[in-house]
Amino acid sequence: MEKNQYIVALEIGSSKIVGAVADKSSSGYVTVRLLEEERFINSVRHGEVKNVENIKGAINRILRRIEKRIDGRVIDVFVGVSGRSLHSVITEVSRDLDSSSAITDQIIDRIIQESVRDNNNSYDTIDIVPRAFYVDNKETENPSGQFGSKISIKLNRIVAKPAIKISLKRVMDAVVTVRRYIVTHLATANEVLTTEEKSLGCMLVDMGAETTEVSIYKNGSLLYFTTLPLGGRNITKDIEIGLSIIEEAAERVKKNLTNPLEFSNESITIEGVNSTDASQHISARAGEIIANIIRQITYANLNNEDIKSIVVIGGGASLQGFNKKLEETAQIHVRTGSMPPSINIIDHTINKPDYIQVFSLLSKGAELLSAGETCIEKNSYDDGTGWSVNTPETTSQPAPQPDPTPAETKKDNGKKKPGRWGLLKKKLGSLLEENDENDEEN
């Protein structure tokens, strides 16, 4: 019987590192099995690792705890990429073709790879997302197999300052092999947004501690992606400085106010400060963040009427009343993002919104794994149908659930299944990784 494949993913954020493990059955079903995390402050700023030794130590501790629980060895991992300089750049490339020969995936791969090389600048290309394909100036969903004298491809290059990738590689090269760097926000969008939302027009807002990532989808494609240098910690710092209290106390004030974005005649005292005074600082900064989020619609050359929904995730957006204020200001329906049932999380204690990003990385990693590949080398195997996890005595986990029936696996919860472009992107990812290695050697 074919053994399950195992996926390990790491999300390195500004306030915590999260490592998680999932397995992928022969039918492609992904089950999250365990999660470990380390919390810290000031070691990662805006996606760039500032204290390499601290982060190396934290990742090592996470991996050792994972290995103890799985009775095996982590061979390699998928690592999420995020940070203040991460954004999309529209790139168009055209090539003349021999009209007597059919267009192949290999031709498309080569053209895209050449477009990456042609755009040498101060940013690294982290990923590529399609906008549209044209054969002889006619738009087509799938050019492969068609004949024409010219092909044009409109792409979104997802780029970042080299410092983000360099700092990540400096840490990871000393700890464990990275199978693939994945743009965390895009992986999360694939899990959180529905096909209908992407088609009608939607915005995904991931508000973290120090940055807020915003992407906009329309007609099924990514149109725009950027990172704002504002997050939940900015609100905390405003309370800390404005009311002369320590940061930890300011964070507790922010979390314990019932409705900090609505002024009330009734005031209470929390951590020695007046709730009305705290609300003024919170409302001012939250209003600035909301205004910047909405402004991205204009920067994407769209109107508010083009966006039918806003989906909000991230720890910073857990501020009470934030979604309501965003909806009132933008006049666009706002909902909180949640994990779809396509990913099975057997331990209810880790099935939390805080971990949507790392679970999305696991799902993307499962998609990228080829048959027979795995991120974990088990010390001992049974017949390959089960999973043995050594858990702490204080932790109880539900029994693993069986794979879904054929009828259940057909439910896609409104999401697109990976298609031709997904396979093409997998090939391209390998080419980009090879290009990175060649750049380092040179």
Among 94, 88, 85, CA closest to 156: 88
Which residues, other chains included, contact 238 with Cβ-Cβ below 8 Å and sequence gap of 6+?
Answer: 281, 282, 284, 285
Q: At 115, phi and psi to the nearest 5?
A: -65, -30
- Looking at residue 409, its pLDDT comes to 44
Dist. CA 305–CA 330, nearest whole Å: 10
Spatial separation of the C-alpha atoms in residues 400 and 351, rounded to whole Å: 15
pLDDT of residue 318: 84
Q: What's residue 113's pLDDT?
A: 82
User: What pLDDT is recorded for position 201?
Assistant: 97
**Which structure tokens are listed for 150?**
């010219």
Q: Which residue has the tokens 């990976």?
A: 418
The structure tokens 């498309």 sit at 108
> Distance between CA atoms of 274 and 26, rounded to whole angstroms?
58
Task: Supply the pTM of this predicted model.
Answer: 0.83
Secondary structure in 3-state letters for 280-325 = HHHHHHHHHHHHHHHHHHHHCCCCHHHCCEEEEECHHHHCCCHHHH
Topology of the domain covering 87-160: Dna Ligase; domain 1 (3.30.1490)
Residue spans of the domains in the chain: they are 5-81+164-183+340-428, 87-160
Q: Give the closest residue to 65 by CA, choosing from 20, 9, 11.
A: 20
Q: Backbone phi, then psi, for 127, in 5-degree steps?
A: -155, 165
Q: 5-81+164-183+340-428 with 87-160: one CATH topology? A: no
Run means of pLDDT, 10 residues per run, the chain, 442 residues: 82 91 90 93 81 92 96 95 91 89 90 74 85 91 91 92 89 95 96 96 95 95 95 94 94 88 77 90 95 97 97 88 95 92 87 93 94 88 53 45 47 47 55 51 47
Q: Map residue 381 onto helix, strand or coil.
A: coil
Which residues does residue 202 pair with via DSSP β-bridges, in sequence order? Answer: 217, 309
Question: At the top level of CATH, which class does the domain 5-81+164-183+340-428 belong to?
Answer: alpha beta
What residues form DSSP beta bridges with 270? 273
